Amino acid sequence: MIGGVVMSQSNLEKQEAKLKALNQKIKDEKNKIEQRLGKQIISQANLDYANLSNDNIKSLSKKVAEFLKVNQAHNQL
C-alpha cells in the first residue's frame, strides 16, 4: 500500500506543477493583454510618454474605465 501512496503523491505533485505552470501562463497572457491595451490607448490618443506621470496615468485610467462602464450600460439596454 505504501507504493500506491507514494505513486499518488508523485502524481499529485505532477498535477500541482502543471497547475502552477498553467497559472503562470495565464498571468503572463493577462500581462501581455494589459500591455497591448495600454500601448494602443497611448497610441490612439497620441499621448506623449514624457507627460505620463503616475498621477496622470491613474486619472486617465479612471476616465477610460468610467467611459467603458457607461458604454457597457448603454449597450445592455
d(CA 74, CA 66): 12
Contact predicate 64/41, CB 8 Å: yes
pTM: 0.69
With cell 499529485, the residue in question is: 12
Contact predicate 32/40, CB 8 Å: no
* CA atoms lying within 13 Å on the CB side of residue 7: 4
**Residue 35: Cβ within 10 Å count:** 10
Q: pLDDT by residue for the chain (77 residues), tens digit each?
A: 555 666 688 999 999 999 999 999 999 999 999 999 999 999 999 999 998 999 999 999 999 999 999 998 877 75
